Amino acid sequence: MIETPIPTAVPRYEIEEWRDLGVVAGITGRGTGSASFDLGFAGTTPVGMVMDHWRRFQESLPDFRSVTVSRQVHGTAIRWHPGGEGLVVQYGLDGHATEAPGALIAITVADCVPVYLLDPKERRVCLLHAGWKGTAAGILPAGIQEMAAHGSSVDNLLMHCGIAICGCCYEVGHEVFAACGVTLPTGPKGYLDLREVLMGQARRAGVTNISTSPFCSAHDSDRFFSHRASRGADGRMVAYLGLVA
Ligand SMILES: [Zn+2]
């Protein structure tokens, strides 16, 4: 499945097939013009500008009364959100889940994989921030487990690996391969496809309906932010997921 540009003043790309299911699943882009659409809390963009971007992002999604995001720590903590109002900023979470229509859950990314989980039958969503550390620590099995614990059948889950750095652009050392349980490269470094690792984890957990984005944040860095391609200078995108009220 492919993220399609949405015609709003905010650079947004969304999965149309999921919109048909009453679900908004997307990611913001770099935007055009001199000021990039940075939504990161810890970068070099002045905080006033970042907050203005968040306001515009929220205003572009009037179907949602709240947006919940967290300062992320590359861990496996996932929290269920009942919904609320406005922008809710939490700490230490790398995963969010909700059953509340009108409650948007969000993560910040720039190369790490946003993993979208949807139970279209029971109407329940979970969004995970999966860099290599979170992937190695098992945030995806934890997310699948959370969905199952709330009553979802794993057979019904849809999973999408969103816009992230691809296997041709992500050169890492042995320790990353080892942590992710992947065969080590012959040299000291090798190229790792994190989305492939995550899809393997999902299949082992019993998820069969899996898709992946064709975009690479580094290849397609004219449209998306890439921490690696920019050598750390880029801002952050927001991946988001929610049930339309
Ligand atoms: Zn790439």
Residue 180 pLDDT > 80, yes or no?
A: yes
The alpha carbon of 245 and the centre of ligand 1 are apart by a number of angstroms equal to 36
Confidence of residue 35 (pLDDT cuts 50, 70, 90): confident
The alpha carbon of 222 and the centre of ligand 1 are apart by a number of angstroms equal to 12
Question: Could you read off the pLDDT of 97-148 as tens digits, one per residue?
Answer: 999 999 999 999 999 999 999 999 999 999 999 999 999 999 999 999 999 9
Two tokens, residue 173: 């050392």
Q: What is the pLDDT of residue 43?
A: 87
Q: Where are the beta strands (DSSP E) in the chain?
A: 3-6, 12-15, 23-28, 66-71, 78-81, 86-91, 95-98, 103-109, 113-119, 124-130, 158-161, 171-173, 189-191, 209-212, 237-243
Question: Could you read off the pLDDT of 46-103 as tens digits, one per residue?
Answer: 999 999 999 999 999 999 999 999 999 999 999 999 989 999 999 999 999 999 999 9
The alpha carbon of 195 and the centre of ligand 1 are apart by a number of angstroms equal to 12
Question: How is residue 25 annotated by DSSP?
Answer: E
Residues 51, 62, 59: CA angle, nearest 5 degrees: 25
Confidence of residue 161 (pLDDT cuts 50, 70, 90): very high
Q: What is the pLDDT of residue 27?
A: 98
Helix (H, G, I), strand (E, B) or coil at 15: strand
Nearest to 69 by CA among 151, 115, 129: 129
Nearest to 118 by CA among 18, 232, 199: 18
Neighbour count for residue 233 (Cβ, 10 Å): 11
Confidence of residue 24 (pLDDT cuts 50, 70, 90): very high
Q: What is the pLDDT of residue 182?
A: 94
**Cα gap 59→123, rounded to integer Å:** 24
Q: What is the pLDDT of residue 42?
A: 85
| % helix, strand, coil for the chain, step of 5 | 20, 30, 45
Residue 17 pLDDT > 80, yes or no?
A: yes
The answer to whether 77 and 94 have CB atoms below 8 angstroms apart is yes
The alpha carbon of 165 and the centre of ligand 1 are apart by a number of angstroms equal to 5
The alpha carbon of 17 and the centre of ligand 1 are apart by a number of angstroms equal to 24
CA end-to-end span of the chain? 24
The alpha carbon of 155 and the centre of ligand 1 are apart by a number of angstroms equal to 31
The alpha carbon of 101 and the centre of ligand 1 are apart by a number of angstroms equal to 34
Q: Across all residues in the chain, what is the average pLDDT?
A: 96
The alpha carbon of 153 and the centre of ligand 1 are apart by a number of angstroms equal to 34
Rounded to an integer, the average pLDDT of 199-225 is 96
**Cα gap 195→131, rounded to integer Å:** 10
Question: How is residue 183 annotated by DSSP?
Answer: P
The alpha carbon of 191 and the centre of ligand 1 are apart by a number of angstroms equal to 10
Q: What is the pLDDT of residue 189?
A: 96
Confidence of residue 245 (pLDDT cuts 50, 70, 90): confident
The alpha carbon of 148 and the centre of ligand 1 are apart by a number of angstroms equal to 33
Confidence of residue 8 (pLDDT cuts 50, 70, 90): confident
